[in-house]
Amino acid sequence: MSKIEIRELTRALIAEEELNKREDFRALGSGKKRYTEEQKEYAINKAQEIGVRATARLLQLYRKTIQRWLRAKGIRVKRCPDWVYDWAYWRRKRREKWERIKLYIQ
């Protein structure tokens, strides 16, 4: 097998696994418009395992829905991942540096 074929096979297997997990989630439902407690527990456990955003993509649910379920269970949910705070800090530092340079040049 070539490298491209292996990559395509890997992607296909991952997609199939995601589909199976989504079907498992849907099978826990009662067919009504509301989510059952079993579905909520499944989503909460998956969110704690792989994260809220990944769970939302996997189960094709809104991220806010999963966050609401987590908060209802008393689980603290951050608004954004940890790296965003670091990124914002360093962006602010860069901007301050360039502002000082601009003032120095004038």
Is the four-CA dihedral 28, 34, 37, 41 of positive or negative sign?
positive
Nearby residues of 85 by Cβ (< 8 Å), 6 or more positions away: none
The number of domains in the chain is 1
95: in domain: no
Q: Which pLDDT value is given to residue 106?
A: 67
102: in domain: no
pLDDT in tens, 26-82: 888 877 778 889 999 999 998 988 889 889 999 999 999 999 999 999 988 877 778
60: in domain: yes
